[in-house]
Amino acid sequence: MSTPLKDLRLLRRAAIAVAVVGLSAATLPFSAASASASTDEAHGRGAVFVQLNFTSGNRVAAYARAADGTLTAAGTYDTGGLGGTETGAPLDALASQGGLTYDRPGHVLVAVNAGSDTVTSFSVRGARLDRTAVVSSGGEFPTSVTVHGDLAYVLNAGGDGSISGFRVKYARLVPIPGSTRSLGLGNDPVPSFIQAPAQVGFSDDGNTLIVTTKAHNTLLTFPVDSAGVPSATPTVTPSAGAVPFSFVVDPRGTVHVTEAATGNTSSYAVNTAGGLTLLGSSASDGGAALCWNVRVGRYLFGANAGSASLSSWRLQADGTAALAAPVAATTNAGPIDLAASRDGRFLYVQESVAGTLGVYAVSSHGHLHRIQTVTGLPAFSAGGMEGLAAA
């Protein structure tokens, strides 16, 4: 039998333990989210998020990812803004890559609200989202967003086009004064899909912002200073091929750009002047409308929206990407945005015209095997979903 003194000591120890746990939770925001996410990743689990882009009220659909890569619906979350559709868009409402972006270190998901000129941030806990802020995008018709460290930049496709910067603080976006830069594109407030810029992204070291301009056939780069503010004017690099659309940056810092009109992938190095130097271009994949890409280990995968297929490229020692398989897999109609699990074992494909999400297992040799089709998503009809992220 315990004594009163022993009971008192046990109670004091318990009280101290509770106080320490409470202090940690109070002083470390989102620590629970970080611990939950780390545990999920360790067990091969995670989440996938789909931006539904409803013009009546934008939403994000969340899916829990099992260890075998398959998805289970886990809820839908309002962004607090409106979706939008670019003029003449054939099957991709925002005609962009990066409309929904997940920052893994910060466990933050950022969504563009093209129809209301705002951007929404969420904190991420597994497949659960908690909306933290809705802020002005700093321009018209935002279509793409990128995050590096505590910096986030939004691409506004409407009007002259612009980029605008934010600090990420406790999963919220705080505007950076003096960070907005015009692109001088002269578009309408709701731009034509082919005239609009397609993506904004950071170089691997975070020191340069890159923008693709599609019909203008240019790549714009803005060196970023220590305060997170870009240069007053961009360096303009002519695209190696027609209609540069999306890009990914590999661990060596090479920028790999899809060319929608030709089916090529061109590779660039960021030079010391903050511009881009062409390293080389791949053979054409022969598909129609190569617009979106993603890196999975040593391979790049690209979505051919007009021919319902995925192509693959293998990264080479000289920094270029060599075409590996013109048709690495077939998809349902309208493949657009792509996302990969952190371990590179699974690839997710947003199939806009079909209103589905394709799930593929990825082998170590870059082969794809479809393992699931997620249904019940909005099919494109003068508007539709666009934006995909994997956590």
Q: What is the DSSP string of 144-188?
A: EEEEETTEEEEEE-STT-EEEEEEEETTEEEE-TT--EE------
What local confidence, expressed as pLDDT, does residue 200 receive?
98
* Three-state DSSP state, 38: helix
Over residues 35-46, the mean pLDDT reads: 58
Query: Residue 370 pLDDT more than 90?
Result: yes
HSE of 198, CA atoms in CB hemisphere, 13 A: 29
pLDDT band, very low/low/confident/very high, at 73 (cuts 50, 70, 90): very high
pLDDT in tens, 119-159: 999 999 999 999 999 999 999 999 999 999 999 999 999 99
pLDDT bucket at 2, cuts 50 / 70 / 90: very low
What confidence tens digit (pLDDT) does each residue in 175-219 have? 999 999 999 999 999 999 999 999 999 999 999 999 999 999 999
DSSP state of 34: H
The Cα 346–Cα 41 span in angstroms is: 13
Any idea of the CA torsion for 139, 141, 144, 145, to the nearest 10 degrees?
A: 40
Mean pLDDT of 158-163: 97
Percentage of residues in the chain having pLDDT higher than 70: 89
What is the homologous superfamily of the domain 43-390 according to CATH? YVTN repeat-like/Quinoprotein amine dehydrogenase (2.130.10.10)
Confidence band (pLDDT; 50, 70, 90) for 165? very high
Q: Where are the beta strands (DSSP E) in 235-379?
A: 235-238, 244-249, 255-259, 264-270, 276-281, 290-296, 299-304, 309-315, 321-330, 335-340, 346-351, 356-362, 368-374
More confident: 382 or 260: 260
**How many angstroms separate the most distant Cα atoms in the chain?**
83
What angle, rounded to 10 degrees, do the helices at 4-27 and 31-42 form? Answer: 90
Given a cut of 80, whether residue 32 has pLDDT beyond it is: no
Report yes or no: 301 and 323 within 8 Å, Cβ to Cβ.
no
Domain residue limits, the chain: 43-390
Q: Which of 160, 210, 218 is nearest to 184 (CA)?
A: 160
